[in-house]
Amino acid sequence: MAHHQVSEFIPLNIAVLTVSDTRSEETDTSGHLLVEKLKAEGHRLSDKCIVKDDIYKIREVLSRWIASKNTQAVLITGGTGFSGRDSTPEAVLPLFDKVVDGYGELFRQLSFEQIGTSTIQSRAVAGLANGTIVFVMPGSNNACNTAWDGIIRQQLDSRHRPCNFVEQLKKV
C-alpha cells in the first residue's frame, strides 16, 4: 500500500464513549481526559456519551457513530476488565470490519511497564468499522493516558510516519 506524504495536520472528528455503571458527567474523569487530549492535538469532539456496561447499549451508541458521516474515530473507555459486568470487547468486536491486533498488544506492553502482570487483565481492543477507527481502553485515567500518549495520538496524526490511520478513515 502506498502512503502519501502529508505535511500538514488533518483534524479529525472524534467521539468519546465512557462505559460505566457508576460514572456521571460530573465524575467521568477518564472521558473528560480524552476530550481534553484530543482537543489539545487539534481534533474536534463530534459527540460524547456515557452508557451503562451493557452490550446492547454500547452497540447502540457505537453503531450510530460508525454509521454517521461525521464521526471518523471513537475512543471508548471502560468495561474492559474481567468483572461480571465488563462487556465492552464483546460489544464492539462484532461491529469491526477489521481488528487492529497490534493495538491491544502494544497497550499491554506499555501498561506492563507501569502495572506489571496486572496488565493481562486489560482487554484493550481496536478495529476499523465503516471507515471509523475505534480504540477501546480501560476506564482509569492512567490507562487513558497510556493509550493516548503511547499509541492513539500518533495513529490519528496524518503526519506520523511510516503510517497512520487517517488515510483509512471516511472523509467528512
* pLDDT tens sequence across 13-29: 999 999 999 999 999 99
Residue 70: inside a domain: yes
Q: How far is CA 29 from the centre of its chain?
A: 15
Rounded Cα gap, residues 47 and 116, in angstroms: 34
Backbone dihedral angles phi then psi of residue 80, each to the nearest 5 degrees: -105, 0
Q: Tell me whether the omega of the peptide bond preceding residue 162 falls within 30 degrees of 0, making it cis.
A: yes
Residue 149: inside a domain: yes
The total number of residues written for the chain in this structure: 172
Residue 5 has pLDDT above 70, yes or no: no
Residue 171: inside a domain: no
DSSP 8-state code for residue 171: P
Residue 113: inside a domain: yes
Beta strands 73-77; 44-51: pairing state: unpaired
What residues make up the domain containing 76?
A: 13-165
Residue 42: inside a domain: yes
pLDDT of residue 1: 45
Residue 6 has pLDDT above 80, yes or no: no
Q: How far is CA 171 from the centre of its chain?
A: 19
Rounded Cα gap, residues 37 and 148, in angstroms: 8
Residue 172: inside a domain: no
Residue 3: inside a domain: no
Give the number of other CB atoms < 10 A from CB of residue 48: 17
Rounded Cα gap, residues 78 and 157, in angstroms: 24
pLDDT of residue 85: 85
Whether residue 144 contacts residue 77, with contact meaning beta carbons closer than 8 Å, is answered with: yes
pLDDT of residue 42: 97
Average pLDDT score, the chain = 94
Residue 58: inside a domain: yes
How many percent of the chain have pLDDT more than 70?
Answer: 97
Rounded Cα gap, residues 108 and 111, in angstroms: 5
Kindly report the pTM of this predicted structure.
0.95
Q: How many structural domains does the chain have?
A: 1
Q: What angle do CA 20, 89, 93 make, to 5 degrees?
A: 135
User: What CATH number has the domain bearing residue 85?
Assistant: 3.40.980.10
pLDDT in tens, 43-93: 999 999 999 999 999 999 999 999 999 999 999 999 998 888 899 999 999
